[in-house]
Each structure stands twice: as C-alpha cells, then as structure tokens.
Structure 1
Amino acid sequence: MGLKKKLLGMAGVALCSTLVLGACGNSSDEGTGEKKEVAINHDSQFPIIKEGEELTLNIMAPGVGMAEWEDMPTLQDYQEKTGIKLTYTTPPSADFSTKLNLAFASGDLPDIVYGAGSQALTASMEIDYGSQGILLPLEEYITPEIMPNLYALTQEDPSILKSITTPDGHIYSLPMISRNATSIWWQGPMWYNGTWLDNLGVSELPKTTEELQELLTRFKDEDPNGNGQADEIPLTDVDMNSTRVWLMAAFGLRTRGIQVDDDVVSYTPTSENYKAFLEYMNTLYDEGLLDKEVYGQSDEQKKAKGENNQLGLFADYFSFFTTGRSEAEAMNDPMFQPLTSEWAPEAKIPGSPRISRGTFALTNVNPSPEASMRWVDYFYSEEGTKYIEQGPEGVLWEYQENADGEKVRVYVDGIDTDNTEDERGKITPAYGLTTPNIVIDTTGEYHIRKTADEEPDTRFSDWVAQETAEKMEDIAEVPFPLLYLTIEENDKVAATATDLTTYVEQMEAKFITGVEPLDNWDDYVKTIEAMGIDEYVEVYQTAYDRWKAN
C-alpha cells in the first residue's frame, strides 16, 4: 500500500469498533434490541459493566479492513476488557450510505452507528432523526463521571461542544478530534523544489506576492533543473484545488465561499480581494509562470512532471508524493511560506477546525446508552487511541527490553514490516475510517520498532511538524466554524450553493486563463447577486450568531 493511502487512512483512524444490527449486510449474531438496565461499574475504567451483568450491542459501520470485524483481535480483546459483547453489520463502505438510510427508513436499527462520518450520517440526518427521537441526545453523558476523556477535551476546547450541538440544543453524534501536528492544515501544503532553490542560490523564501512572482520568473528563465531546455513549470496544480487557498490567503481570504471576520459573514467570491487574487493569477498565467495545463490535467499528469524534475512550486500532502523522491530528499523541499500583499499586510492562512462529525451515534433501540458512551470514551485518551490503532500487546507488537533496559514496542515475529498498514487492517477496524477518537502523533513509547535497539526514524515527521509550527501554527484561522443549519435554513441554501459553486468555479478558470476578461467583473457580481447571495449570506450569519451564543 502506498504511503499516501496509509496517511489518509491514519488521518481518520484511531478507530474502535462499531457495528450495527439490521438488514445491511454481513451480520453476525443479532442482539435483542430490548431495553435492559445493566449495572455500570463506576469504580474503575474496566470492565464497564459489573461482574455478572450481560450486555450485547449491535454496531453498524462501513466495512473496511482486511478481515471480518468479529475476527479482529482488537475487538475481541476489547470485549474482554469491557464485558460488553458486540455484533457487527459492516456493509461495504461504497454501499454504507444506502444501507444506513435503509436502516433508518425500515426501523431495523443498530444500537450504535460507528465510523459513518458526516458524508453518510449527514448534519440534516442528525437533526431530522434526532427530532423524531430515533437518534438519542448524547450531551447528558458527556460528564466527568461517564466520559472523563471526552469531557476533558471539551473543557480544553469549548469549540468542540459548540460544533457538535445542533440548533435544538442537543448532541446527536460524537466527533473525531484531531490534535496531531498537521491537523491544522486546511489541506496539503505547497512545496518548493529545494534542488532548484539551491541551484539558483535562493536562501530566503518569498514572503510577498511580488517576491513570489520574481522567484517564479527565475524558475522559468534560469534553467534551474539544469537540462539546457526551457521545460520548467514554475507553478502547477490540478484545477487550482490546493494552490488556491494558499495564494488567496495573501489577499486576505481564507476560503472561496463563506467566511467570517469580526463576527461578520461574507461571501468572498464577490469581494474586491478576490478580484485582486484573480488579477494576480491571470498575470502569472499570462507570463507563463502558472502551468498552462492547470485546468484539466490529472493528478497523475502533475506527478509525471514532478518526477521529471519540471516543477518549482506545487501542492501535495508531502512533496515526494509529486516528485517520487525519498523522505530524506523531501526534507530539502521547504514548505511554502505564507505571503502578504497590499491586501493583507499580515500573513494569515486557512486553518482546519480539527473536528469531524458523525462518527458515533446511538439509536432509540440501544439497551444501555450509558454503557455505550463509556465504551467509546476510552478512545478519546492517548492510551485508548493507540490501543485501537495498534491493537493489544502480543498481536501486532510486543514489549521487549533494549540494551538500556527500557521496555519498548517491537513488531512481533511474522509481521510484514514493509506493509504495516495491511497488517493493521487485519487486527483492528481503525483502518481508513473517520472514527470517534482523538488523533495524535505516534511518539515516544508508542513507536513500534523492528528491533528493540533500533531507534525510530522520526526525522521526516519531526521536520514536517517543525515546518508546520514555524510557518502555519500561529497564523492559521478557521474561515468559518463547523456548525449546523436548521432544516429550514438548509432548504434555503442547498440549491443556491450548488449553482454558486458551479458558476464561481467556471468563472475562476475563465478569469485566470483570460477567456473571460476581468473587465466583465461587474457582470459576474450581478449574476451572483441574482442567484440570491444576500439571503444566502443572511442564513449563514444567523447560523453563526447562534453558534457563537452557545
């Protein structure tokens, strides 16, 4: 499995189990669905229910991983820890949304919906099924006694509760909370070709839009790849999907859409700042500094250019995903330095809210909501999230003593250490899902080594964390908070949002490539106004005011 897939899987993982009862595929034993009071153990973390008590929970989750969930050692071990038996319904992830909707429509419900994510368990579904009493309110269980780990996180960051609370004041799903070094990234950064910088004697990265244009011009004119051909492409992307946000930030914009500044909501694609951004990008395009194939090329075509050493500045999760180089070589490719301009005298970049909703919900057939919430809380701790990622001792890893007498984690015999993600997929469902847990970096005692005396090679991850801290951490701002619209508000904006996105995307490409002259800007703005942008912004202003007041 490629590293990019591994990283994308890990970004959502820290998973736990989840299952679901019902007519959705691959069911094992089904629970009774009967309401049953069980005695909860409040004296220690495990077991969750007192000795002699019995509880079976049905979990519905997207089917991912390399094994059936009932055969996964992590889930088997967790049943022993908690005293709670689990049954699973895990339709293929491609069919999960359909199967989940069918379960709600038929009333053939699981006790727990796990790892669905907001694409399957949407915000409108939470509000709709919550108001009908099909999804249970969860806020009463987020207490120091029942969920000490999640409760502590919400006290450290009040925006968590604000962002998972629906307009009726209830919480119907729990989030994945990301706190790893790169979790502030809005998306993959831009990276400079470090070899080109060295060849041109560049010791300081551009800090303004003018300085960037000057460097891109040098990339174009001074043969930094040294092949004697004018084949350099100073700046590229695929449809501007990643580059856009980083360069828009130099014009005071953190998104191409709804943004809030000083509690005032606006739609950025009609702003003078956005017009200035388009003018800048059009200049880069006209001067041959922006790839002429930026609109229309595939990611594979972009990578082919990178592997051919033709790119000077480009976006990707890591630079070596585009260049094909090693991690060690990628450490010579510096992360983009956020820019300033006359439109933004201070550098700001878009930051992620670091919360993903829809990862854990309880239905009204759940026999013990408190036990269910205790069950998931463990994964909001450092120990618990690494447990669900790496499994229990003796399966993927074991403790061994190194030459200094320290206990360290080492892969057990028989593990293919060149394909550890596939190995994890056999033992835990924490494999490519957005799950209810806290995502943190694997450091210190949680590093798994090939041998006890091998020091983990963390140079690349440490370097990325340092680049992020130096260039992003203090200037990242969420463009607009993660919040819920009411059903009525959502109905008002849904159709308009689709039309706006389509039109703005088309016009951006035309303006930047010169197909549409920017002299027609006023007509463009009038078209957006005719789509109902004022009412659209008003809806989000109301939603923001409600979110802030919580």
Structure 2
Amino acid sequence: MKSRNKVLLSIGIALFSTVLVACGNGGSKAQADGPKESSVKLNTEGQFPVIAEGEELSLSIMAPGMGLAEWKDMPTLQDYIEKTGIETTYITPPSADFQTKLNLAFASDDLTDIIYGAGSNSLTSAMEIDYGAQGILVALEDYITPELMPNFSKLVEDDPNLLKSITTPDGHIYSLPFVPRNGTSIWYQQPMWYNGEWLDNLDVKELPKTTDELYDLLVRFRDEDPNGNGQKDEIPLSDVEMNGTRLWLMGAFGIKVKGIQEDDGNVSYTPISEEYKGFLQYMNKLYTEGLLDKEVYSQSNDQKQSKGQKNQLGLFNDYYSFFTTGRSEKEAINDPLFQPLTSEFSPEAVIAGSPRISRGAFAITHKNPSVEASLRWLDFFYSVEGDLYLEQGPEGVLWENQKNKDGEEVRVYTDKVDLNDTENFRGSITPAYGLTTPNLVVDLPQIRKSADEEPDTSFMDWVIAETEEKMVPAAEVPFPLLYLTKEENDKVGTSATDLATYTEEMEAKFITGITSFDEWDKYVKTIESMGVEEYVATYQAAYDRWASN
C-alpha cells in the first residue's frame, strides 16, 4: 500500500516540528465544565459490541475528507456501527479546508463529540494545551487502563516514551496518537539509494562505510563512465536543496538533524558545531570537484527525477529508487540503500530515526456523551487485528476469503475492485487513507489478485531487510516528541524562524563557495546574537521535564 507508506514517511518528517503556533482565545467559546457523566453501560463480555444490549449511543465525528467517498457511505464505518452498536455521524470538510473549519468549530463551540484524523498540523500542540486547560478537550489519562483500553495500554507498556510524548506539561493527555510499527516506520525521511547498475559496471563489491570511501566512489562515478554511453554526463550525487542528502551525510559527522538535537541528555544547536562545519567543508569539496550536482539549489524534484530516468545519477534520494530511475520494482532491488557512514568526527555511524508516533489523531470534546464508550470504540484499532480491519475493511468489499490449491484461506480482491487502481477503491471504503488515523500500523498481508497467485512481496521484503540491516542499528531519535509550554513556545517561536532562514541561506553559501570558511566565526557570532543560547536553554528545560515524566 504505497500511498499509506508515503503518509507514514511524511509523518516521520513532520514529527520534530516542535515550534508551535500559539492558539488565541477569541470568538465565543464557552468555558467548558468537562465531559458529561455517561449513563451508557458498556458490554463487559468482550470487544464487541461496545455498549451493553439495549443501550443506545450516537457519536458525531469531525475529520478531514479525502474526497473519494462520503464517510457515511464507507462500508468499513457502516460495518463498524453494526459491530460496536454505536451510531456515528460525520462532518468531513475537504482536507485542504479542515484546519480552518476546525478552528471555527472551536471558536464557536460548535464541536462534534470526537475529532478524528486531524494530525498535529491541524490540532496543534498549542491547541491541545489551550483547549484542554479550558476543559473543551477532555483529559484522557485516567481512562487509559487495561480494562477500558487493553490494546493501547499494551502499546504504552511496551514503549513508555509513547505515553510521555502525548502528555502535556500540565500532566494531562488530550489526544491519542497514530502509532506506526511497520518495517519502515524508523525512517525519519525518504532514504538515499545507489544506482545499482553503475555499481555493477564498476564492479563495486562493497558499499562505502566512511566519508573518504564515499568520496572515492563518487570520483569513479564522475570519471569512469558508469552509465556506459561514452559521454561525461554522469552526476555522482544529486538532490533538491540538500533536503535528502543533508540528513544522511550529516550523520557521518555525528549530527542527526540541522537544529535542536539531544545527546545523552544534553541539548545543542547543531548548526554552530564543529561537526556541522566539517559536514559543510565535505559538501563544499564535493560541490567544487563536480561530485555534487551543480543544480542542487536550483532544480525541482521533477528535474532531478528526469536526470535519473536518463541514467545520469549515481546516488540520490527518493522514497523508492524507482521513483527517480523509472525502473521497475524488481529492477530497483539492485539499487542498494545507502550505508550510514563514519568519519574522523564520528567513529560510529548515526542517522536520524523517527520516534514512530504522531499526535493529534483522536481527541474527545466536552460535548461527548460517553468518553468510556468512545475510547472502547477506538481501542480496537490499536491492535493488529484492528489495523487489518481499518486498512482493508470488512469481508466482501475490498477482499473476500478464498481457498488456494493447498486448501488455505487467503484474501483475494473482489470483482468490485479495479485491479489497476486498488488504492483509490480502498480509499473509498475506509478512512485509513492519507490521514493521521488513530491506530497501530503494522506490515499486513497483501490481498491477492487470485487465490493461487502468490503476491509478489519481494521488493518490500527487500526494502525492510535493507532497513533492518543498515538503518535500524544506526538510527537515533534526534529530539523526543514533546510539548512546549505556552511560555516556552513564546520564547522560541520567532527565533526558530529566523534561525532556520539564516542557517539555510548560509549552508548554501558555504557549500557552493559563495562564502569562505574564513567567515565561520562571524557566522557563529551572528547566530549567537539571534538568541540561540536562550533557544537551546528552553529546549533543554522541555527535554528535562519530558525525561523526568
């Protein structure tokens, strides 16, 4: 399910956007008195139905609409009403308008019982803290128990950082998360890939493991005609504004991100470190010697991919290599995942790893008539069985059980599905399509086109194996997913924008040689004058609070 994987990645990239936009209190919001005490009795004899026999409950849900189907028409949600005994109604403005509509709903106190799939870009951390303090969002921590939420409680038991990362500075939990645990969930952003055809042509048997070895290979890419066309058109390393290369090559210098980073409890700002200077000097060497694409700061992603389809690129970043090369998945298995590097600055390989959590996926408002039933309704999706149900829907719509030649039951696409466009059909039957949905995500068995046609999982099996071998041992979370207080947010808000703008501009100038490294001390002093000391101290305080939680 490639579109789902892309969502996971984009989430992985947004996780560390900890500079929050404070939320104002305007409009006619009423001070809430907390959730209504529920008289709805729950079923105590198993997962379903959620409510006891003879009970009635209706819950309204606000969520971003992806445009493929009305939620009331989605078979998965229709079936879940039958399973749970809970009626659900939906307000689903287009995803592009969702944040605006959600803000208006808060401002007018015209809220649904549940906010679903918003994600932290729409239901921001500042909004959680603000509306939670007012009682408009319900504090959920007391409801997270093995009795009420057994599946989510198990996830929390397995990963204590999960609970810490959804707890606000006032000690409350106002939203529940999206929890990816699939084979590529450790990805912080899309990887880098080598052109396997070039490696074969140059008889490269082992990938570089140090920055010096990478330099030597890039020189060979430049000079030895690895694409075999007799022309000097090879581009050893390409990117768009360094957005992919930066993360992977900084790791060789002990830097996980360009910005706030935590190491052994100490928070630092990496763009003023000697390690970052070493990274810039290395990249400047690559740029000066024609090993880094001269159009790295001027080309679009489409232009980069066009070069890849002409077999001009040796090392590049993309979600999968065939997105750039235009090859098939089977051919892409020959394009190795980048091996994290070491250098004189870092004797151990390190790369940024995702904390594998995204907030703002599920929140309950003070309008909700039964918090307990709402959380029982949700908890199923934090299990492997629940993820399979949410992703693929009930039997008879996207899939049906058939027996293969060995008498085993397997999932096969129904005749309702266009086999050339299975994802759009899937997106019309379930909300788990392009959204930050509140559930566990694991690697699921593929649906087959026919019972006796084994699904070809070789590419994803290989990707997961490459990830496990190369990324997992080196991956470290750069900075935990945490909340800033309103006061902390006010301190860092303006500085964050100014620092990011200045360091991005100067990075390009240092790498391309527009600015000499003789100017490094001046560069550092400029950043210091922008309040970086207080900036780091604020994040250190937030980290210390998170770590002691």
Task: State TM-score, norm by structure 2.
Answer: 0.94
The reply on whether 1:474 has 2:443 as its aligned counterpart is: no
Look up the equivalent residue of 1:87 and give its one-letter code: T
Following superposition, the deviation at residue 7 of structure 1 comes to 3.3
Q: Partners of 1:35 and 1:113 in 2: how far apart?
A: 19
Residue 204 of structure 1 aligns to a residue whose secondary structure is coil
CA contact (8 A) 1:65 1:429 kept: no
- 1:170 is matched with 172
CA contact (8 A) 1:12 1:434 kept: no
Residue 472 of structure 1 aligns to a residue whose secondary structure is helix
Q: Which segment is superposed worse, 373-382 or 65-74?
A: 65-74
The reply on whether 1:490 has 2:492 as its aligned counterpart is: no
Q: Deviation digits for residues 426-453 of structure 1, max 9, x if unmatched?
A: 211111101100111123xxx2111111
Q: Partners of 2:428 and 2:479 in 1: how far apart?
A: 38
The reply on whether 1:430 has 2:432 as its aligned counterpart is: yes
Q: Deviation digits for residues 38-87 of structure 1, max 9, x if unmatched?
A: 01112210000011111110100001141110011100000000000011
CA contact (8 A) 1:209 1:339 kept: yes
Q: Partners of 1:333 and 1:401 in 2: how far apart?
A: 36
Residue 322 of structure 2 aligns to a residue whose secondary structure is helix
Judging changes above 3 Å, is the alpha-carbon distance between structure 1 residues 384 and 333 closer, same or farther for their aligned structure 2 residues? same
Q: Which segment is superposed worse, 408-417 or 142-151?
A: 408-417
Residue 217 of structure 1 aligns to a residue whose secondary structure is helix
The reply on whether 1:544 has 2:543 as its aligned counterpart is: yes
- 1:7 is matched with 5
Q: Describe how 1:201-280 pairs up with structure 2 within 5 A.
A: 201-280=203-282
Judging changes above 3 Å, is the alpha-carbon distance between structure 1 residues 12 and 428 closer, same or farther for their aligned structure 2 residues? farther
- 1:303 is matched with 305
Look up the equivalent residue of 2:326 and give its one-letter code: G
Following superposition, the deviation at residue 518 of structure 1 comes to 1.1
Q: Deviation digits for residues 204-240 of structure 1, max 9, x if unmatched?
A: 0000000000000000001100111100000010000
CA contact (8 A) 2:253 2:276 kept: yes
The reply on whether 1:318 has 2:324 as its aligned counterpart is: no
Look up the equivalent residue of 2:128 and give its one-letter code: E
Look up the equivalent residue of 1:399 and give its one-letter code: N
- 1:506 is matched with 505
Unpaired stretches in structure 1, ≥5 consecutive residues = 14-32
Residue 220 of structure 1 aligns to a residue whose secondary structure is helix
Following superposition, the deviation at residue 414 of structure 1 comes to 2.7
Q: Describe how 1:361-400 pairs up with structure 2 within 5 A.
A: 361-400=363-402
Q: Partners of 1:175 and 1:319 in 2: how far apart?
A: 30
The reply on whether 1:67 has 2:66 as its aligned counterpart is: no
CA contact (8 A) 2:329 2:459 kept: yes
Q: Partners of 2:407 and 2:8 in 1: how far apart?
A: 31
CA contact (8 A) 1:6 1:421 kept: no
- 1:28 is matched with none
The reply on whether 1:454 has 2:437 as its aligned counterpart is: no
CA contact (8 A) 1:255 1:479 kept: yes
Residue 255 of structure 1 aligns to a residue whose secondary structure is coil
Judging changes above 3 Å, is the alpha-carbon distance between structure 1 residues 400 and 5 closer, same or farther for their aligned structure 2 residues? closer
- 1:294 is matched with 296
Q: Deviation digits for residues 61-115 of structure 1, max 9, x if unmatched?
A: 0011411100111000000000000110000000000000000000111100000
CA contact (8 A) 1:147 1:374 kept: yes
Q: Partners of 2:392 and 2:3 in 1: how far apart?
A: 17
Residue 374 of structure 1 aligns to a residue whose secondary structure is helix
Judging changes above 3 Å, is the alpha-carbon distance between structure 1 residues 12 and 439 closer, same or farther for their aligned structure 2 residues? farther
Q: Partners of 1:483 and 1:93 in 2: how far apart?
A: 25
Q: Partners of 2:312 and 2:39 in 1: how far apart?
A: 66
Task: State TM-score, norm by structure 1.
Answer: 0.94
Greater than 2 Å deviation, 4+ residue runs? 3-7, 9-13, 33-36
Q: Partners of 1:277 and 1:344 in 2: how far apart?
A: 11
CA contact (8 A) 2:398 2:416 kept: no
Q: Partners of 2:10 and 2:340 in 1: how far apart?
A: 27
Q: Give the root-mean-square deviation of aligned CA atoms.
A: 1.3
Number of residue-to-residue matches in the alignment:
526
CA contact (8 A) 1:65 1:425 kept: no
The reply on whether 1:130 has 2:132 as its aligned counterpart is: yes
Following superposition, the deviation at residue 10 of structure 1 comes to 6.6
Q: Partners of 1:420 and 1:462 in 2: how far apart?
A: 20
Unpaired stretches in structure 2, ≥5 consecutive residues = 12-34
Q: Partners of 1:34 and 1:360 in 2: how far apart?
A: 18
- 2:79 is matched with 77
- 2:199 is matched with 197
Q: Deviation digits for residues 276-300 of structure 1, max 9, x if unmatched?
A: 0000000000000000000121000
Following superposition, the deviation at residue 349 of structure 1 comes to 1.0
Following superposition, the deviation at residue 6 of structure 1 comes to 5.3
Counterpart selection for 2:403 from 394, 397, 401: 401
- 2:100 is matched with 98
CA contact (8 A) 1:65 1:431 kept: no
Judging changes above 3 Å, is the alpha-carbon distance between structure 1 residues 465 and 6 closer, same or farther for their aligned structure 2 residues? same
Residue 474 of structure 1 aligns to a residue whose secondary structure is helix
Look up the equivalent residue of 2:5 and give its one-letter code: L
- 2:529 is matched with 530
Q: Partners of 2:357 and 2:2 in 1: how far apart?
A: 21
Look up the equivalent residue of 1:116 and give its one-letter code: A
Counterpart selection for 2:189 from 184, 187, 192: 187
Q: Partners of 2:437 and 2:517 in 1: how far apart?
A: 45
CA contact (8 A) 2:255 2:270 kept: yes
- 1:331 is matched with 333
Residue 473 of structure 2 aligns to a residue whose secondary structure is coil
CA contact (8 A) 2:41 2:55 kept: yes
Q: Partners of 2:54 and 2:338 in 1: how far apart?
A: 59
Q: Deviation digits for residues 489-535 of structure 1, max 9, x if unmatched?
A: 00110000000000000000000000111110011101100110000
Following superposition, the deviation at residue 35 of structure 1 comes to 6.2
Q: Partners of 2:282 and 2:7 in 1: how far apart?
A: 36
Look up the equivalent residue of 2:435 and give its one-letter code: L
- 1:282 is matched with 284
Judging changes above 3 Å, is the alpha-carbon distance between structure 1 residues 177 and 223 closer, same or farther for their aligned structure 2 residues? same
User: How high is the sequence identity, in percent, across the aligned residues?
Assistant: 69
Following superposition, the deviation at residue 396 of structure 1 comes to 0.7
Residue 472 of structure 2 aligns to a residue whose secondary structure is coil
